[in-house]
Every structure is written in structure tokens, then in C-alpha cells.
């Protein structure tokens, strides 16, 4: 019997403790049975700022000249003279190199002789045709008077046709020889290679004495040199497929050269490739974006590696907070009023989109009277350091920005405290503001007193 009474007593005690634990005070929402003092989380805070924020897209790229020409030979020959060296400036029409022209000179001479020979042959064929025409006319006249046979007349007509065919054949041969001569003369001109543009010899691949060949389907041919116009440069950047929908022609950009990463170079997007590419051995798809470099500095050279920043969006008067202040919380971990406000903001979306967005909700915690309070926010654009807050906070709020360990443990109503050095800094700042305000008030009182003394002295002087 005594054992049953003991068990009943223990059950009553446990029920009482549980009831007290479930009761909460109206003032702070904490349990009425509060045995231990809650330990405050140490946090860092920052005030929202109002100013400019720019959304950037970053991409690697390579610097190149807008106009760059690769010089190749159109004939197979040997270089007998190289008139330039790498780095030399050239003008359009300047001699670059000269190829061996002995065989081509021989071809030209042979072609000229062949043309002359065919010219003489044509004269002979024309004379034969003229004689054949006279013979046919005479045989026709004799045939009318029955002074010749019909066979002799037909043989004369046949000879006439033969001589005319020979004449036509010689004319065709002359046309063929003239075409051969014209091609030989054109090939002879190609032995002298001149610059097609104004620029600088950016790369020299061949030397005097080397044999250069023309390109074929399976052979790229010999590139003798490259000429670059350094007066206008561009960057060929590789934009990730996630960011490429934001990049458009005409947007402002900046180029950071690997040789001088602290000094940006202004640029402008010229065009974006409509088709992406995947590098060998990688799964990342990138799109080529061409940026015009808006500078003529000598330090910008073709072939340099660079990183580009493209301004895809801008806000000139935005309320911003550090990006680390924005956290994601599951619906069940947030107060009901916050969840209800979030659901109201998603009413215009379809059910699948609402479900997707409602799994994790973006919020910010602010410090109010040593307590963390959750705020539902509407974010805008962001850069690498700040994020725009379009709704949910005010400039006077103290936004909790860290540390990360404390951000993970934050809840609405959680007790928080600043680090000692932060408290001292805020206290010093507050004292400094009070001191400045007191000095201003003191200065105003001194000015008022000085004005009163001046007025009294003026009055006495007037009376005297």
C-alpha cells in the first residue's frame, strides 16, 4: 500500500512540474518555471546603409587586338629576304618578306613565248582560211559552167572547213596561254609580301631560308607572321551559362589584367555568342562575350590574361546590408505571423512555385533590447559584399551579421549580447556624440552671451 502511495505522489509531482514548464509568461514568452538564466549569444551588428549597389558578372578572358592579320604565303617557295623583326611597326604596303621567284620568272617567260608563238600560228591559219575561201569561190564558178567536177568542189569546201577549225583551235590555245601567263604573273607578284594594315609585328614564325607552303584541307599551311593593330583592343571573355542571360550588348564593364590587377580598365560589351561551348574534359558550359577595351594604354597587350566585371544591374539609392546577414530558415522554425506574411506575398504564384519557395524563407535578425527579432525581407540585387533590402528593415535597425556560429543558433526572442569590444566602441561613439552635442550647446550659449554684452556696450555708448 505504501509503495502505491509513493508512486502516486511522484506522478503528481511530475505532472505539476510539466504543467509549470508548459506555462509561459506573457511578457517575454519564456516558461514560467525558469530554473537557469539564459545565456546570451554573442553577436555582431551593423546598421543598414543607403547608397549605390551594382550587380556584377565576373568571367575570365584573354586580351586580343580587334584587328589582327595572319600573314601566309599563297605559293610554295623559299624566303630569300625577311625585311622585319618581331615588334617592328609597319604601315600598309610596307615590305614584309620576299620569296624566291626564279621558277616563276621562267614560267612568265615561257608563257610570253607561247603567246607570241600562238599569235603567229593564228596569222598563218587566217591566211589558210583566206586561200580556202578563194578556192571555194573559184570552184563554185567553174561548177556553174561545168568546167569542174562536183567532187573537186566538195573537196575544196572540206579544206575550207578544216582551215577555219584550225584557226578557231589556235585562238582557243591563245586564250589558254594568256590565262596561264596571267596566273604566272600573279604568282610572281605573290613573291613580294607586303603589309595589308597598319600595325605591329606581334609574332614572327618563319625565318629567312625556310620554305613556306600553302594551306590545304589537311594542312593549315605556314603562318609567316602576325600583325596586330594595337590602337584598338578587345577581351574575349568566357561567361558561365548561369550568368549569361544577364549579359547584353552595350553594358559597362571593367577589365583587370593579371599583370596589374589593382587598376581596372574600362570596357563595353559588344556582343554575346548565341551558342555555348564546353571545354575538353569539363562539364561547365560557357558563352563567349566580346568586350571592347575603352583605353589605349600601352600596358594592354595581345595575349594577356584578364578577368572582367560586367555591370548587369544598378541601384543608386538602395538600402543595403552585408550578405552574411541574410539567412534561410525552415517554415516550422519561424513564428506564425512571419510565415503568414510570407504566404500573403506569394499569392500571385502557382502552387508548385509557392511550394518550392516556401521550403526555406529568407529572413534577417535585428537586435532589439538585447533580444533577437526576426524580420521577413524582400531582397533585390546583390554584389560580392552587400545585398539590397527592398522591404523589411529600417535604417535605424541594428542588423545581426555574425558570427556564423551565432547566426545558426538565432531564434526569434533569443537573448543576444554584443562582444565587449563592440560595446566599448558603441559606448565611445555615443559618448563622443554627446560630447559634441554639449559643445555645440555651450558654444551657442557663449555666442548668446557675447551678443548680449555687445548690445549692452552699444546701448551705453549711445547714451553717453
**Of the listed ranges 40-54, 302-316, 420-434, the one predicted with least confidence:** 420-434
**pLDDT on residue 384:** 84
Q: What length does the chain have?
A: 464
Q: How confident is the model at residue 458 (pLDDT cuts 50, 70, 90)?
A: very low
Query: What are the CA-CA distances from residue 147 to residues 134, 143, 158 (Å)?
Result: 17, 6, 19
Half-sphere exposure of 174 (CA within 13 A, CB side): 16
Question: How far is it, in rounded angstroms, from Cα 243 to Cα 253?
Answer: 14
Question: How far is it, in rounded angstroms, from Cα 175 to Cα 291?
Answer: 52
The grid coordinates listed for 32 are 514560467
Instruction: Report the candidate in 265, 248, 247, 259 with the shortest Cα–Cα distance to residue 304.
Output: 259
Verify cis geometry, omega within 30 degrees of 0, for the bond prior to 403: yes
Q: How confident is the model at residue 463 (pLDDT cuts 50, 70, 90)?
A: very low
Q: What long-range pairs does 442-445 form, CB within 8 A, spacing at least 24?
A: none
**Of the listed ranges 11-15, 33-37, 170-174, the one predicted with least confidence:** 33-37
Question: How far is it, in rounded angstroms, from Cα 10 to Cα 110?
Answer: 126
Residue pair 237/59 in contact (Cβ under 8 Å)? The answer is yes
What are the pLDDT digits (tens) for 223-234?
Answer: 999 999 988 999
Q: Which residues contact 11 (CB under 8 A, 6 or more apart)?
A: none
Question: How far is it, in rounded angstroms, from Cα 197 to Cα 71?
Answer: 11
Q: Which residues contact 231 (CB under 8 A, 6 or more apart)?
A: 296
Beta pairing partners, 192: 98
The grid coordinates listed for 163 are 582551215
Instruction: Report the candidate in 192, 202, 196 with the shortest Cα–Cα distance to residue 88.
Output: 202
What are the pLDDT digits (tens) for 365-407?
Answer: 999 988 999 999 999 998 888 999 999 899 999 999 988 888 8
pLDDT at 5 exceeding the cut of 70: no
Residue 304 backbone zone (phi > 0: left; psi -120 to 50: alpha; other: beta): beta
pLDDT at 116 exceeding the cut of 70: yes
Question: How far is it, in rounded angstroms, from Cα 410 to Cα 363?
Answer: 11
The grid coordinates listed for 439 are 559643445
Percent pLDDT > 90 in the chain is: 54
Buried/exposed 23-52: b ≥16 CB within 10 Å, e otherwise: eeeeeeeeeeeeeeeeeebebbbeebeeee
Q: How confident is the model at residue 464 (pLDDT cuts 50, 70, 90)?
A: very low
**pLDDT on residue 445:** 55
If you average pLDDT over residues 126-131, what whole number do you get? Answer: 91
Question: How far is it, in rounded angstroms, from Cα 124 to Cα 120?
Answer: 6
Instruction: Report the candidate in 239, 211, 172 with the shortest Cα–Cα distance to residue 79.
Output: 211
Residue spans of alpha helices (H) in 145-264 = 150-189
Q: How confident is the model at residue 457 (pLDDT cuts 50, 70, 90)?
A: very low
What are the pLDDT digits (tens) for 337-374?
Answer: 988 888 888 887 777 777 777 788 999 999 998 899 99
Q: How confident is the model at residue 57 (pLDDT cuts 50, 70, 90)?
A: very high
Query: What are the CA-CA distances from residue 261 to residues 254, 304, 305, 307, 326 (Å)?
Result: 11, 12, 11, 9, 30
Q: How confident is the model at residue 138 (pLDDT cuts 50, 70, 90)?
A: confident
Amino acid at each position: 500500500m505504501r509503495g502505491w502511495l509513493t508512486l502516486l505522489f511522484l506522478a503528481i509531482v511530475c505532472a505539476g512540474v510539466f504543467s509549470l514548464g508548459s506555462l509561459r509568461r506573457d511578457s517575454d514568452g519564456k516558461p514560467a518555471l525558469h530554473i537557469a538564466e539564459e545565456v546570451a549569444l554573442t553577436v555582431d551588428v551593423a546598421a543598414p546603409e543607403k547608397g549605390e549597389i551594382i550587380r556584377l558578372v565576373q568571367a575570365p578572358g584573354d586580351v586580343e587586338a580587334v584587328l589582327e592579320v595572319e600573314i601566309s604565303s599563297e605559293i610554295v617557295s623559299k624566303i630569300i629576304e625577311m625585311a622585319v623583326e618581331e615588334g617592328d611597326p609597319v604601315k600598309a604596303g610596307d615590305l614584309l618578306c620576299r620569296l624566291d621567284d626564279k621558277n616563276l620568272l621562267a614560267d612568265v617567260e615561257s608563257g610570253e613565248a607561247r603567246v607570241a608563238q600562238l599569235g603567229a600560228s593564228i596569222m598563218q591559219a587566217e591566211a589558210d582560211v583566206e586561200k580556202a575561201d578563194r578556192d571555194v569561190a573559184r570552184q563554185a564558178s567553174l561548177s556553174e559552167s561545168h568546167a569542174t567536177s562536183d567532187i573537186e568542189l566538195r573537196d575544196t569546201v572540206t579544206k575550207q572547213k578544216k582551215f577555219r577549225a584550225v584557226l578557231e583551235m589556235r585562238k582557243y590555245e591563245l586564250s589558254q596561254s594568256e590565262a596561264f601567263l596571267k596566273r604566272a604573273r600573279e604568282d610572281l607578284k605573290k613573291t613580294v609580301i607586303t603589309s595589308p594594315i597598319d600595325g605591329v609585328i606581334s609574332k614572327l614564325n618563319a625565318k629567312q631560308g625556310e620554305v613556306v607552303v600553302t594551306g590545304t584541307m589537311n594542312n593549315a599551311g605556314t603562318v609567316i607572321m602576325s600583325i596586330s593593330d594595337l590602337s584598338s583592343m578587345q577581351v574575349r571573355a568566357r561567361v558561365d551559362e548561369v550568368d549569361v542571360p544577364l549579359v547584353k550588348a552595350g553594358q559597362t564593364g571593367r577589365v583587370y589584367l593579371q599583370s596589374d590587377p589593382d587598376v581596372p580598365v574600362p570596357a563595353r560589351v559588344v556582343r554575346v555568342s548565341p551558342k555555348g561551348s564546353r571545354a575538353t574534359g569539363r562539364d561547365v558550359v560557357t558563352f563567349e562575350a566580346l568586350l571592347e577595351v575603352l583605353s589605349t594604354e600601352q600596358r594592354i597587350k595581345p595575349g594577356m590574361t584578364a578577368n572582367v566585371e560586367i555591370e548587369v544591374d544598378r541601384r543608386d539609392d538602395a538600402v543595403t546590408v552585408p550578405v552574411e546577414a541574410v539567412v534561410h530558415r525552415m517554415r516550422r522554425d519561424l513564428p506564425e505571423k512571419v510565415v503568414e506574411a510570407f504566404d500573403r506575398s506569394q499569392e500571385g504564384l502557382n502552387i508548385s512555385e509557392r511550394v518550392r519557395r516556401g521550403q526555406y524563407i529568407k529572413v534577417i535578425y535585428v537586435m532589439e533590447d538585447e533580444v533577437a527579432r526576426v524580420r521577413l525581407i524582400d531582397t533585390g540585387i546583390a554584389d560580392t559584399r552587400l545585398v539590397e533590402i527592398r522591404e523589411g528593415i529600417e535604417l535605424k535597425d541594428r542588423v545581426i551579421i555574425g558570427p556564423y556560429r551565432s547566426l545558426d543558433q538565432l531564434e526569434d526572442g533569443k537573448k543576444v549580447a554584443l562582444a565587449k569590444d563592440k560595446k566599448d566602441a558603441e559606448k565611445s561613439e555615443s559618448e563622443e556624440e554627446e560630447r559634441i552635442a554639449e559643445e555645440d550647446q555651450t558654444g551657442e550659449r557663449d555666442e548668446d552671451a557675447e551678443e548680449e554684452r555687445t548690445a549692452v556696450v552699444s546701448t551705453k555708448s549711445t547714451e553717453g
